[in-house]
Structure 1
């Protein structure tokens, strides 16, 4: 990964634009996306994860009426992640997905993000959390499906850097995507979305569970057979306060991470 470039996505494949490349702002418009439908379709088609978070606000970047970028501000899996902000989860959000097509010039990211932050502040949002995943992932055939990133765009937007999040073990499907701990929990508890998680594992080679079968036992049997374990050393964590009073109360920034060959 080159630090002189910024990352873009199209059809879940990474590409890069030269850093500092100017955007012709008169050609672009940032709009609120009132429903998940358009944002979800864009994110699932282009973001490397192929998944969509629990959205609270969605913004679209349009060029000549065509959607070329989406920012989704979401509820984190654990509200404690937002405890660093004075109002906690009640007045803060996570930047759950941020994806721009490869046609958008490099400075489009900060321009888009700044306008989304302004709109969020008008809605009473006080803080934004974002994570950058620096560790590459590959398919079972060895093809790199995610090269990793250290959050260069967040650094360019003057985020407070607070180090690495908690290390964990990932379960990778054959195509290199992550079968998340949250998806596993949905299967165990048969929560909303559990059927889709089961379909993912069946598609990876698991035997379809029989009607009435104990899904906890089924998951325990098949998860290690159809996924690969990969140790993850924790995502990079970034913070923004959207009001001066909030910014003053944030902890000091640690030195920004730089890219290393192994993503650590």
Structure 2
């Protein structure tokens, strides 16, 4: 197995922000995609989001009308997990970032997905090797860490678990390139490469807000204009979700130690108040206003 020719059917589990983005790029690349989410109406909403993204692409002449219709035709709503995974060559989970949820899911996938299927986790920081232990096919388990918004961001972090085979890595790299991503290979360490660096920058920006160094907008502007970052760390935190950032920070602090990973009290307070970023309408920015 040296390329992705063995992959034609992809199952995406979880139809939230990351799941619908992953489903979209897979469908646009010509894969048949089964999208499953146990929450009522979640897949329907995800398909609406995907159509909206593709419509914008057509309006901006970045996607042809034929390509939009082909992509939408490649998507289907899978009623249950078994139906989604039954004939998949590649399963990608995009469920909440909690180890117990992921290990339970992967244990079920080992029973329901075909023996040849590659099982991929979109985790941004959790151990791929520990997730793989829930299966009887650790050599076919890999991390595929996508970035938000998936249909725009070019990076795909390919995470090799302790027992991931070279064949699985090779297929994952070919898959990444087919869906238009630039892959990097990282070993299975807490936070991998991107989250480990990105979380430190985001947490320090929050500490600067706590200390009154500057406003969130000016801190972000410093990184955007001074370091050529496309988006500042606080606006990015709002897009990722403050609750997600908190969970990653707590995990990294527990696994790696170090004060740089300790969540600031500001972050804990905002999450407790329900200020989760764009998805709740309020974070470091007010997302209820037009133009945000």
Same fold (TM over 0.5): no
Structure having the larger proportion of residues in strand = 1
**More helix per residue:** 2
What TM-score, normalized to structure 1?
0.28
* TM-score normalized with structure 2 length: 0.26
Q: Which has the higher contact order (CA 8 A, sep 6+)?
A: 1
